[in-house]
Amino acid sequence: MMNIIFIAPPAAGKGTQSSLLEEKYEYKHISTGDLLRNEINKKSDFGNEIESIISKGELVSDDIITKLLKNELENIKHQKFILDGYPRNLRQAEILNELFNELNIENYVTIYLSLDNEIAMKRALGRVVCTKCGASYNKYFQNLMPKENGICDKCRSELVVRTDDNEETFKNRFDTFLNATNPVLDFYKEKNKLSIVDANQNTEEIFKNIEEILAGEDVNN
Ligand code: AMP
């Protein structure tokens, strides 16, 4: 199985798709957003610095995020992984390329989950996440609602709205994403490593498209 790099605007469902891939194919899910949130939870000066950046919807510096990611990639050894949230700009794509060379990682595909702005907004504003296990639900979509309001189906912990899922921050995150990621898409296209999935579809359809790509049946690259 190939390693996967997900490139997706916020709320495209990369967290959900990553969980499905983890369950079915035993991928290790590496989310740079989660790595940062782990630091925030430590309440250190470093964590507070990160929190003030994330809550404005801005990107953390390439240095900070690369250090956290490198550490993670070195520790996973031979397990196949999904990279979620990195690279977010061309510089990060170049750094990742160097890192892959250093660690002898050649077998990977970049999957772009493309999503319309209005659908992204609706998904983000309805999202609630588990404070303990990170599972994600949505109060606007019947099939994504938790069984019990405010409680995680999986571990029964409390569900909360992420601080960066308000309308203003979300708009900023979406625009930041589009500006910074277009060159990244070109970078992988040139390497013949880019596949595109329509993330306006429902969860099952998106997953099916991803499985087709992993099986080498992708027709759009
Ligand atoms: P996510 O969970 O992927 O939506 O990330 C949440 C926030 O973490 C983003 O809005 C950024 O502020 C920060 N972040 C995550 N990944 C990166 C990255 N590769 N480079 C810079 N900032 C990042």
Q: How many CB atoms lie within 10 A of CB 57?
A: 19
pLDDT in tens, 26-52: 999 999 999 999 999 999 999 999 999
- Nearest CA to 99 out of 126, 114, 122, 81 is that of 81
Does residue 72 contact residue 28 with C-beta atoms inside 8 Å? no
Helix, strand and coil content of the chain, in percent to the nearest 5, comes to 50, 15, 35
Average pLDDT over residues 166-171: 86
Percent of the chain with pLDDT over 90: 65
Nearest atom in ligand 1 to the alpha carbon of residue 86 is 19
Dist CA 209 CA 166 (whole Å): 30
SS3 of residue 10 by DSSP: coil
Structure tokens at 185: 């898409």
Cα(219) to ligand 1 centroid in Å equals 30
Supply 19's token pair: 């969980």
- Two tokens, residue 114: 């493309």
How does residue 220 score in pLDDT terms, banded at 50, 70 and 90?
low
Nearest CA to ligand 1 atom 5: 33
**Per-chain mean pLDDT for the chain:** 91
Distance 205 CA to ligand 1 centre (A): 26
- Span 50-90, pLDDT tens digits: 999 999 888 899 999 999 999 999 888 788 999 998 998 99
Global pTM value: 0.81
Q: What is the pLDDT of residues 127-150, one digit of tens each?
A: 999 999 988 899 888 888 999 999
The atom number, within ligand 1, closest to the CA of 69 reads 19
The Cα–Cα gap between 123 and 160 comes to 15
pLDDT above 70: residue 217: no
CA of 50 to the centre of ligand 1 (A): 10
The residue-averaged pLDDT of 186-195 equals 96
Spatial CA neighbour of 183 closest among 102, 111, 88? 88
Sign, Cα dihedral of 32, 112, 181, 98: positive
Q: Whose CA is nearest to atom 8 of ligand 1?
A: 33
Rounded to whole angstroms, what are the CA distances from 140 to 27, 108, 161, 182? 29, 34, 13, 29
**Is the per-residue pLDDT at 219 higher than 50?**
no
In angstroms, what CA-CA distances link 185 with 89, 193, 204?
9, 9, 24
Report which of 11, 5, 36, 6 is spatially closest to residue 169, judged by C-alpha positions.
11
